[in-house]
Amino acid sequence: MMLFLRQAWTIAAKDLRSELRTKESLNAAFAFAVTILLLFSFAVDVDPDRIKEISGGLLWMVFAFAGALIFNRAFARDLANDCLDALLASPIPGAALFLGKTIASFTLVLAIEMLCYPVFGLLYNISWANHFWTLAGVTVLATWAMAVIGTMFSTLCVNLSLREIMLPLLVYPVLIPALMGAMLLTTQLISGQPISSDNQIWLRVLAAFDIIFTSLALLLVETVLVG
């Protein structure tokens, strides 16, 4: 178990180190996110109350699309120079490889999101951090959902030249329940209210989504990776 986690961490560290050196997708994703947030001010009446009502929806759409730019690259770095072959030939279990990559993507997207919140607050004059820790918790759960599905479906597409087109088409419909929950909860939290008892169920949905899909992925990824 410890070995498994250590191996996963080796992969996660490698991916993060690689990405932080070049910052290719990180910059692209962040620039994209900020641009959309900015553009949105031209699309609607910038009235704080109205913005609060749609904050969850807007933010999570931005996160989902910015995230795609990161997840698309999950395996791209390993395909250059056939590095994936060397990884697969090594003793690391496919599940540990998958977990490592998911952790790396998750961390990058989470970083972008936590930067986007203050930008959003600034642009629209909304104090977003009233329930900071709860909001962070929701963000973590939903981002993990995106990371797991994004990385898993990346492995399904890993040999396809059409990967960049295919991946979003496959990923987004599956993510809808998680994004739904994230949007509802985020809207409520940014509006300054704690999560109502009505909305507690969405926390459970997010948690269940994460647990079930992570388990499925860990179980099935080895089968997919070895041709």
Partner 1 sequence: MSEAALAVHEVWKYFGDFPALRKVTLRVDPGSCVALLGRNGAGKTTLLKILAGLAAPSEGTILLEGKSPRDAATRSRIGLIGHGIAVYDELTALENLEVFAQLYGIAQPREAAREWLRRVNLGHVENGKAREFSRGMRQRLAVARAFLHSPKLLILDEPFTGLDDRSIGLLQALLRDALATGATAILSTHQLPEAMELATHVALLNRGQLAFAGERTAEMLADPNWVYKHYGEAAA
Partner 2 sequence: MKDKLLFGAGLMAALYLVRNLYVILVDLPDEAQQGAIYRIFFFHLPPYFTAVVMFLGALIASIQYLRTKDFKYDCFAVSAIEVGLAFAAMNLVTGSIWGRQQWGIWWTWDARLTSALITWLIYAGYLMLRQAIPEPTQRAKNAAVLAIFAFTAVYFTYKANEWYRTQHPGPVLTFRTGKETIDRSMQNMLFHNTGAFLLLASVMVAHRMRLERNQREVESLRRFVHAH
Q: Which burial class, exposed, middle or buried, applies to 194 when counting CB atoms under 10 A from its CB (0-12, 13-18, 19+)?
A: exposed
The residue from 61, 76, 140, 156 that contacts partner 2 (CB under 8 A) is 156
Say which entry of partner 1, partner 2, none residue 212 contacts (CB below 5 to 8 A, set by partner kind).
partner 2
Phi, psi (degrees; rounded to nearest 5) at 44: -130, 170
Q: Give dist(CA 9, CA 15) in Å, integer.
A: 10
* Minimum CB–partner distance for residue 11 and partner 1 (Å): 8
The residue from 5, 31, 46, 86 that contacts partner 1 (CB under 8 A) is 86
Q: Give dist(CA 119, CA 42) in Å, integer.
A: 16
Selection from 174, 151, 172 nearest residue 77 by Cα: 151
Say which entry of partner 1, partner 2, none residue 92 contacts (CB below 5 to 8 A, set by partner kind).
partner 1
Q: Position 86: which residue type?
A: A
Residues in 12-41 at the binding interface with partner 1, rule: CB under 8 A? 14, 17-18, 21-22
The residue from 1, 91, 162, 197 that contacts partner 2 (CB under 8 A) is 162
Q: Which is nearer to partner 1, 36 or 76 (CB)?
A: 76
Q: Is 159 in the site for partner 2 (CB under 8 A)?
A: yes
Q: Position 219: which residue type?
A: L
3-state DSSP assignment of residue 108: helix
Q: Which is nearer to partner 1, 37 or 97 (CB)?
A: 97
3-state DSSP assignment of residue 201: helix
Q: Which residues bind partner 1 (CB under 8 A)?
A: 3, 6-7, 10, 14, 17-18, 21-22, 77, 80-83, 85-93, 226-227
